Amino acid sequence: MKSGSRATVALALGMNLAVTATKLTAGVISGSSAMLSEGAHSVSDSVNELFLVASVRRSERSADDQHPFGYGAERFFWSLMAAMGIFTVGGGFSLFEAYRAFETPPRPGSWVLEYAVLALAAIFEGSSLIRALHQIRNEAGSVGRTPLEHITKSADPAVKTVASEDLIAIFGILVAIAGVCLHEETGNGRWEGVASAFIGVLLIIAAVALARDNLSLLIGESVAMETRSLIAETIEQHPMVETVVELLTRYLGAHEVLVAARVQLVAGLSSAEVAGMSSDIDKELRRSDAEITQVFIDATTPQESLAGELDATAPRAGRCLAGQRLGGLE
């Protein structure tokens, strides 16, 4: 999965660099606001892919004394930066181009050049999108999800961001073509401003959604409910486990999950049996889900649970007795 993410991001970066050069060249030559907005969109996508390349490389570093759980969460940080890039560079510049088109409508452009560049851009963006969707399909199949479910539930921001960008890019190209076409037919350059504004709003909405997703992962997002249920079921299947008292999970990286469980054991177990049980559960969880990389089991015997309940109720009983004595003195 890691190598797949790297290849997907690398292809997206190469495609965006090619698209950026053609769009900006055509935009400068023709003066088209829609074309310049699409050029800004491609600039933001290229910068974002650089962030994502850095995120994939840096997140794969091995754990050390200072970062004992590794650097997987760094991918979420750089993906958050990529979302901010979409918001500021792509959305902001597109809205500026919309304002400029309404204030000073662009002159009739080089229509053949603009249509040719937009068609070429659609081919480049489509190639990148096909690669991203291919990886999403493979990953979704490996975990028993539909591609749409995997896009919404996956913790890999790199592929998710690339797929989102490419979908928006293709939709933006269609909007730009519509704006240029209406400008050509009506002679009114403000139609390109409308297209630029639409592209800008679309980019801002996508940026906010991606930023919120990555912020949740940075704070510490749990795995999906069905995955937690399967983890709990796997733990409770062990013959020494009476019940799972508490289960906590967290994404440490795009494909790295921490599991911490507090379990109540059956009565009459030795310390050696408890140690063996923890090791068995660790192995079983890692075998059942390749993304589980850290497992912590806190085992409690029925006797310890009863002692804990007595300790918790003892202060309350003491306060009741003290109240009775005070009442008697009164």
- The candidate with the shortest Cα–Cα distance to 250, out of 120, 76, 103, is 76
pLDDT band at 184 (very low <50, low <70, confident <90, very high): confident
Lowest mean pLDDT among 6-15, 174-183, 214-223, 287-296: 6-15
User: What pLDDT, on the 0 to 100 scale, is given for residue 323?
Assistant: 38
CA distance 301 to 264: 6
pTM for the full model? 0.70
User: What pLDDT, on the 0 to 100 scale, is given for residue 313?
Assistant: 56
HEC profile of 133-166: HHHHHHHHHHCCCCHHHHHHHCCCHHHHHHHHHH
DSSP character at residue 257: E
pLDDT band at 259 (very low <50, low <70, confident <90, very high): very high
- The candidate with the shortest Cα–Cα distance to 176, out of 41, 68, 18, is 41
User: What pLDDT, on the 0 to 100 scale, is given for residue 309?
Assistant: 52
CA distance 41 to 142: 33
User: What pLDDT, on the 0 to 100 scale, is given for residue 319?
Assistant: 39
Q: Answer whether 258's CB lies under 8 Å from 77's CB.
A: no
User: What pLDDT, on the 0 to 100 scale, is given for residue 120?
Assistant: 81
